[in-house]
Structure 1
């Protein structure tokens, strides 16, 4: 499924939005490596943009989709560290949990998923974390 475009958290310049959209379209069209490069360039040029947290999230997501789970964890972690107020922070933490799950790191997966629920109660990410924890319990993990 193609990723859904996220609305910016605050006003960004038309040029920033255009640059972000170009990178996002690369990702949507399946050009993951090119999208990663474009999102990295966007963050380097616009580190304080309201879209920077989203850009960092999509770098993690591209790695996740390519099954580069260790790199995905590193990239998703930057969302929470560098952009804690980002609307993508709950999803980034969720994907850290999913990535640990894919690597078979059950304790780390469980810890990340429980953090999603504790830090972002009632969100879609929290509901997804609860579902994954239930799946893990059913699997005996």
Structure 2
């Protein structure tokens, strides 16, 4: 409003100049007419001043409204910028959270895969026989064989028996029977060893260790002083597997039994 009031003096000055020009023509009118003209001019001047003030006030009000509008717009812009910054922060946090969740999911999946592998069948090759075995099944056999190699025949026998009981259809069964017979022989359980070796030979007559199984039976019989049965077993071994190393050992053993 102050800006527009600057123009008010100029407007009033113009009105004054207009009034000052009246006396130059006063001689044309009589006094009443002059007074009337002056009153009319003053009335018009007052109206003009009032109109100017009103217009200036309107303009000032419009300027204030514009200023308030600009202030509101600036405030809204600041709020919008703040909201956008907050949303960007939330988005960044969500991305970090998502990345952390994905990392944890990956770690969990790796852990699950590792645990699952512990239960998945594994390829095994024993005594020329290829098959799949459960991890626990394989562990039982490996532990029993480790005990047998260390001379712990009792622990080896328990482990092999447990293996055959828990996994009756195991691919280890034939080899487990053979080594169980050896563990029993080491424990001097000759009768049990003969039963185990004969079960081995009946179940796998063509097994790669079958010749050794026959020789082991003969050795058990000899330890029990049953030389007659031992000789017969050795002779059967030589007939069935004449080219085997066990057959050569059987020939030598027959000489010692005569």
1:127 alignment partner in structure 2: 248
1:3 alignment partner in structure 2: none
CA contact (8 A) 2:154 2:187 kept: no
Partner SS for 1:11: strand
1:64 alignment partner in structure 2: 185
* Cα distance in structure 2, aligned partners of 1:13 and 1:92: 24
CA contact (8 A) 1:9 1:87 kept: no
Q: CA offset at residue 86 of structure 1?
A: 2.5
* Cα distance in structure 2, aligned partners of 1:102 and 1:136: 11
CA contact (8 A) 1:9 1:86 kept: no
- Larger deviation: 86-95 or 52-61? 86-95
Confirm whether residue 9 of structure 1 aligns to residue 129 of structure 2: yes
Confirm whether residue 76 of structure 1 aligns to residue 197 of structure 2: yes
**CA deviation map 1:11-33 (0-9, x unaligned):** 33262433311110011112211
After TM superposition, the score normalised by the length of structure 2 is 0.48
Paired residues in the alignment total 132
Instruction: Note the aligned Cα RMSD (angstroms).
Output: 1.8
Find runs of 4+ consecutive structure 1 residues off by over 3 angstroms: none
Q: Which structure would you say has the larger RCO, counting Cα contacts within 8 Å and 6 or more residues apart?
A: 1
User: Which of 24, 30, 37 is the matching residue for 2:158?
Assistant: 37
Runs (5+) with no aligned partner, structure 2: 1-125
After TM superposition, the score normalised by the length of structure 1 is 0.83
Partner SS for 1:10: strand
* Cα distance in structure 1, aligned partners of 2:127 and 2:226: 33
Runs (5+) with no aligned partner, structure 1: 1-5
